[in-house]
Amino acid sequence: MTTRHHRAPIRLSKLHERWVYVIGGVLFFSGLGWLVFHYFMAIPNEFGDVHNPYEPWWLKLHGAAAMGFLIIMGSLLPVHMTRAWRLRKNRSSGLFMVTLLSVLITTGYGLYYLGSEQTRPWISLIH
């Protein structure tokens, strides 16, 4: 006999799902904005290209969105992810997401706190 508890879908509330998509979207597009301004919108001058003045603002927005996304992912762990793991649902996609996010979190931390002139290009490439 299966209880209703085990058959219920593992769904987020609409509000929770909306927050995941909004903050995830801001995180993604702010990173994309930084890439565009860093690599394609540099300002040429007589001594070489200089950073676009909007580039740091994209990076600040990306960092703020990353903080929000860490909170959102932390809110998924105790119920959503734990319950899905116990029910053996979406394990491969869940492991992929947890692995991907772990790499992004680790490399983001590395870029901000550990990156030297020698390691920064490699960490940035991975990130």
Q: Is there a domain that residue 60 lies in?
A: yes
**Is residue 115 situated within a structural domain?**
no
Q: Where are the alpha helices (DSSP H) in the chain?
A: 4-7, 14-39, 55-76, 82-86, 91-109, 120-126
Alpha carbons 105 and 73: distance in angstroms, whole number = 11
Higher-scoring residue by pLDDT: 47, 111: 111
User: Is residue 112 included in any domain, yes or no?
Assistant: no
Let me know if residue 107 belongs to a domain. Answer: no
Question: What is the pTM assigned to this prediction?
Answer: 0.82
pLDDT in tens, 41-62: 888 787 777 888 999 999 999 9
pLDDT value for 1: 46
- Residue 55: which domain range? 12-72
Question: Does 28 map to a domain?
Answer: yes
CB atoms within 10 A of CB 96: 11
Q: Per the domain annotation, does 95 fall within a domain?
A: no
CA distance 115 to 45: 27
- pLDDT surpassing 60 at residue 35: yes
37 pLDDT band, cuts 50/70/90, is very high
Q: Give the integer Cα–Cα distance in Å for 39 and 52.
A: 10
The confidence score (pLDDT) of residue 22 equals: 97
* Residues in a beta bridge with 48: 45
pLDDT tens digits, one per residue of 56-104 = 999 999 999 999 999 999 999 888 898 888 888 889 999 999 999 999 9
C-alpha to C-alpha distance for 82 and 122, rounded to whole angstroms:
33
Report whether 126 contacts 103 (CB < 8 A).
yes
Q: Is residue 36 part of a domain?
A: yes
Number of domains in the chain: 1
H or E element in which residue 11 lies: none
Domain for residue 1, yes or no?
no
